[in-house]
């Protein structure tokens, strides 16, 4: 079995708890659906937010989904001038038998501009 990383990002409309948790849940569920994994397959999840998002920990969204045994870690992105605002990024590490090419990274809403090469329309 291999450990593979799955990346994703989403932008949210506002710096409030509801927007952050809703956006993080949407991204987590999209990544899970696209990559067909179970919470028991997860090694760990790293969440990062841009400095303008501080109203909630996005990792709390995983707990609300019932992913209570998964190691989670919240981080703040470095404040690069003119970078994408109100963005939540996620790195999920999973145990699987998939190749790198089979992993589907997801960039939603305004975050699509971060990795246009990975967006499938």
Q: Are 12 and 88 in contact (CB under 8 A)?
A: yes
DSSP state, 68? Answer: T
- The pTM of the full predicted model, rounded to 2 decimals, is 0.93
CA angle in degrees (0–180, nearest 5) for 60-106-21: 20
- pLDDT at residue 119 in the model: 63
Across 49-78, average pLDDT = 97
| CA-based nearest residue to 41, from 67, 75, 74, 21 | 67
Number of separate domains in the chain: 1
Q: What is the pLDDT of residues 13-31, one digit of tens each?
A: 999 999 999 999 999 999 9
Q: Are 8 and 27 in contact (CB under 8 A)?
A: yes
Query: How many CB atoms neighbour CB 49 within 10 A?
Result: 24
Across 61-76, average pLDDT = 97
- pLDDT at residue 112 in the model: 83
**Full residue range of the structural domain in which residue 58 is found:** 2-118
Across 4-11, average pLDDT = 97
- pLDDT at residue 83 in the model: 92
- pLDDT at residue 120 in the model: 61
Strand pairing category for 2-11 and 87-96: antiparallel
Which residue in the block uniquely carries the two structure tokens 């939540």?
88
Which residues make beta-bridge pairs with 42?
Answer: 94
CATH number, residue 44: 3.30.1330.40
pLDDT band at residue 121 using 50, 70 and 90 as cut-offs: low
């Amino acid at each position: 079995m291999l450990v593979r990383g799955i990346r994703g990002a989403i932008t949210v409309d506002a710096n409030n708890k509801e927007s952050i948790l809703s956006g993080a849940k949407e991204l987590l569920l999209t990544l899970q659906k696209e990559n067909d994994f179970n919470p028991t397959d997860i090694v760990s999840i790293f969440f990062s937010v841009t400095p303008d998002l501080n109203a909630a920990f996005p990792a709390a969204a995983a707990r609300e989904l019932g992913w209570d045994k998964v190691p989670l870690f919240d981080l703040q992105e470095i404040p690069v001038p003119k970078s994408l605002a109100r963005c939540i990024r996620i790195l999920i590490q999973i145990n699987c038998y998939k190749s790198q090419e089979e992993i589907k990274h997801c960039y939603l809403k305004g975050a699509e501009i971060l990795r246009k090469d990975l967006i499938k329309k």
